[in-house]
Amino acid sequence: MARVPELYGSLVFNEKVMKDKLPKDVFKALKKTMEQGTHLELDVANSVAVAMKEWAVENGATHFTHWFQPLTGATAEKHDSFISPVGGGEVIMEFSGKELVKGEPDASSFPSGGLRATFEARGYTAWDPTSPAFLKDGTLCIPTAFCSYSGEALDKKTPLLRSMEALSKEATKVLNLLGNTEVTSVTTTVGPEQEYFLIDEKDYAKRKDLIFTGRTLLGAPSPKGQEMDDHYFGSIRPRVSAYMHDLDEELWKLGIPAKTKHNEVAPSQHELAPIFDTTNVAVDHNQLMMEVMKKVAHKHGYVCLLHEKPFAGINGSGKHNNWSMSTNTGLNLLEPGKTPGENTQFLVFLMAVIKAVDEHADLLRLSVASAGNDHRLGANEAPPAIISMFLGDELTAVVDAIEKGTLFSNEKRVQMETGATVLPHFFKDTTDRNRTSPFAFTGNKFEFRSLGSSASVANPNIMLNTAVADVLAGFYEELKGYEGEALQDAVKALLKKTIIEHKRVIFNGNGYTEEWVEEAAKRGLYNFKSTPEVLPRLITPENIALFVKHGIYTETEAMSRYEILLENYCKTLHIETCTLQDMLNHEFLPATLKYADQLTASILAKKQVCTSISTKAEEKQLAFATEKYEALYELVEKLHADTVAAEGMEDLLEQATFYHETIIPEMVSARELADAVEAVMPKDVIPYPSYSDMLFYV
C-alpha cells in the first residue's frame, strides 16, 4: 500500500487541487473566506466553479449536487448534470458560480416542524466553503447549508456553524483579555469514534425488524454472549478484515483520515475512529463515513447496522465525541502542559467547560436523546443518563487546590513500572480511563460519550459549543476592566468561585452503581431517563434565551426542532410497534401453532400405536406453547388497540409519553413471551434467523 499518500483525498477538491487549478488571487480570496469567513465575491465563485467542474469532469463526474443535512438526520442530495446544449444537438459541460453558491431544492417534503408551510415550499442551499467538495458515484458533492425562504435554518449545519462562531468570538475575547493578543479566532475540534455491527446480508433479509427498524424486536439470546470478553480487541476475522481494509481505502479517497479500527465488546461489533478535524468538517465526514460504511458492507455481503441497540442482552453502539478548542495560532486550549496548576489559561478554559457542563447538562442530555439511544443510556453498558464529568486524579487535585486556596505542587509525574526491563519506560497518563463517565477529560480534550451511533454528531456539538460560549461570555464580563496583578487576582477569585459552585458535576467514581444515582440526586444533578422526559428542556424560556443570545436558534427555530424531535420519536415507536405486531401475526404466532400442531400430531400418533405409551413430555411442551400463545395473542390485541389510541392523540408530548410509558413495556412483555417459546422451538420452525446465526457466523 505504498500508494496511500496518492490515494488519500483523490476524490476531494482540496487545497492542493485548488492551488493547481485556481489563479493565484482567486485562491487567496477563497482561502481567506475559508479561514476567516469573509464574504465571497461572485467573480471568485465563478472562477472556483470553473475549476471545480474541470477537476470533477476530469475525474469522471457528470453531475453535481448540493449536499446538505436536513432535519431527518440523514443527508440529502439532488443531482443536476453539467450538460448545457449549444445547438446542433451538442452539449458542453458547464457550471457557474451562481450554481455553486446557491441551490433551490424543492424542499416541501423535508421535516420543518412548521417552519415552512408547504404552500411555500422553497428552500435554499448555500455553499459552505469551509467543508471541501468531493466526488461520490460520478457526482460532485458540494457541502451546503439549508434554509427556508425567510432565512430560518432547516438543517443542522447552519446552527453548528453559528455555534462555532459564538464560541470563537467569546473565547477570543477571553484570550485577548488574558494577554494572548495574537489570537484572532478559535475553532472547536472533534474526533468521533464510531461503533457498528456487521451481519450477513442473507440473515438481514429475513428479519423484518432489522429492515424496518434497524434493531431486533424479537430473538432469544444465544448460548454465548459477550461474557468472555473475547471479542474486544480480538483478532479480526478475515472477511471482516477485508471489509475494514476496503472501507479505509474508500474513506481515505474521500479525505477522511480513518485511523483506528478494532473489534468491540459485543460479538460482531466493531469500531472505527478517524483523526480529529475542525467540528464542521468532522460532522460532515461522520455523515459521509456512515454512508460509506453501509455501502462498502454491501460489497462484502454484509449489512452494517448503526442502530444504538440492534440486539438485546449485548452492548449497543455509541459514538464518542472527542472535543477540544484550538486557536488560530495553533494552541490546544485544553492542553494542560507540564504544570497544569500554573497554567492559568488552561485552568480558565477547563473551568469554563466544567461550568458549562454543569449549567447546561439538560441541553447536553437532550442533544443525545433518541428512541434508539434510550436503550443504552442508563442501561449499564453506556454512560448513565446523568451527565457528570471525570477529571482524573491530577486535575482533581489541581481543582481541589484552587478551591482551598492552597498552592498546587505538581509532583513529579509517575514513571510507569512495567516490571520488565525489555519494555521501554513511559510516563503514566495523567488521566486514567473511566469508561462509565459521560464526559471525561482524556489528556488534552474531553470525550463526550453519550452519543448514539446512528445520529449526526451535529446536535451534541451545537449544544456543547453554545454552553461553553455562554460561560466564556460570563467570564469575560467578570474579568473585563482588570489589568496586571488585579487581573491575576480576579482570575483566581473567579476560578475559586466557579469550582465551588460547580464541583457537584465532577464524579470520578463508577457511574453504573445505584449509589451514584442516589448521590447525583442529592447533588441536584438532572437524571432524564427518556427522550420524552428531556425534550421539553429545549424550549424552556431560559434555554430559548440562551440560543437567542448567542444567535444559535431563533425562538421559532428552537420550537421547530422540538416538534421534529418529538415527532421523530413517535414515528419511530409507531414503526416499531407495527413491525412487532406484523412479525407476531404473520410469523411468530403461526410458527407457534405449527409447533403445537407437531406436538399434537406426535401425541395422537403415539396413542394410536399404543394407548399406554407416555406422552408426558409432549403434553408439557404443548401446554407451555399454548399458554404462551394465548398470552401473546392477548398482548398483540392490546398492542393494536393502544397503537390506535396513540395515533389518535393530538398532543405530541402526550403521544410520546404514551409510547414510552405504555407501549414500550407492552412490547417488552410480548418479546419476553415470544423469546421463551423461541428458546424451546425446533430450529426449523423458528421463522427468522436466530441471535446465534446472526452474531456468531459472520
Q: Is 189 in the site for ligand ADP (CB under 6 A)?
A: yes
- For residue 275, the partner it binds in Mg ion, ligand ADP, none, with Cβ less than 5 to 8 A by kind, is ligand ADP
Total binding residues toward Mg ion, as defined by CB under 5 A: 1
141 binds, among ligand ADP, Mg ion, none (CB under 5 to 8 A by kind): none
Q: Is the dihedral of CA 447, 367, 308, 654 positive or negative?
A: positive
Instruction: State the binding partner of 150 from ligand ADP, Mg ion, none, CB within 5 to 8 A by kind.
Output: none
Q: Of 237, 190, 189, 257, nearest to 5 (Cα)? A: 257
Gap between the Cα atoms of 143 and 128, Å rounded: 6
In the complex, the smallest distance separating the C-beta of residue 54 from ligand ADP, rounded to whole angstroms, is 33
The pairs formed by 227-231 with CB atoms below 8 angstroms and a separation of 24 or more are: 229/265, 231/263, 231/264, 231/265, 231/266, 231/267, 231/268, 231/269
Per the CB < 8 A criterion, the answer to whether 558 and 547 are in contact is yes
Residues near ligand ADP (CB under 6 A), total: 16
- Is residue 324 within the footprint of ligand ADP (CB under 6 A)? yes
Fill in the per-residue mask, 235 to 264: x = in contact with ligand ADP (CB under 6 A), - = not in contact: -------------------------x----
Residue nearest to ligand ADP (CB): 191
Q: How far is the CB of 486 from Mg ion (least distance, A)?
A: 42
407: CB partners within 8 A, 6+ apart: 341, 401
Asked whether position 193 contacts ligand ADP by CB under 6 A, the answer is yes
Task: Give the x-and-dash track for 308-337 against Mg ion (CB under 5 A).
Answer: ------------x-----------------
| Cα 274 to Cα 180, 194, 259, 285, distances in angstroms | 31, 9, 5, 9
What's the distance, Cα to Cα, between the start and end of the chain in Å? 27
The single residue among 191, 340, 438, 532 that binds ligand ADP, judged by CB under 6 A, is 191
- The nearest distance, CB 449 to Mg ion, in angstroms, is 7
* Residue 189: contacted member of ligand ADP, Mg ion, none (CB under 5 to 8 Å, by partner type): ligand ADP
Place of cell 442501561: 379
Site mask, Mg ion, residues 632-671, x = CB under 5 A? Answer: ----------------------------------------
Does 441 engage in binding with ligand ADP (CB under 6 A)? Answer: no
Question: Do 378 and 384 meet the contact criterion of CB atoms below 8 Å apart?
Answer: yes
Q: Could you tell me if 379 and 312 are in contact, meaning their C-beta atoms sit under 8 angstroms apart?
A: no
**What's the one-letter identity of residue 167?**
L
Closer residue to ligand ADP (CB): 352 or 636: 352
Q: Residue 271 CB, nearest distance to ligand ADP (Å)?
A: 7
What is the Cα–Cα distance from 63 to 57, expressed in whole angstroms?
A: 9
Angle subtended at Cα 25 by Cα 24 and Cα 28, rounded to the nearest 5 degrees? 90
449 sits near ligand ADP (criterion: CB under 6 A):
no
Residues 266-305, one symbol each (x = binds ligand ADP by CB under 6 A, - = not), give -------xxxx-----------------------------
Contact by Cβ (8 Å): 415, 427: yes
Among the listed residues 367, 212, 360, the one whose alpha carbon sits nearest the alpha carbon of residue 283: 367
Secondary structure in 3-state letters for 421-458: CCCCCCECCCCCCCCCCCEEECCCCEEEEEEECCCCCH
Least gap, CB of 293 to Mg ion (angstroms)? 18
- By CB under 6 A, tell whether 600 contacts ligand ADP: no
Q: Which does 74 bind (CB under 5 to 8 A by kind): ligand ADP, Mg ion, none?
A: none
Measuring CA to CA, which residue among 528, 253, 252 is closest to residue 383?
Answer: 528
Rounded to the nearest whole angstrom, what is the least distance from the CB of residue 323 to ligand ADP in the complex? 6
Q: What are the residues binding Mg ion (CB under 5 A)?
A: 320
Q: What are the residues binding ligand ADP (CB under 6 A)?
A: 189-191, 193, 260, 273-276, 320, 322-324, 332, 444-445
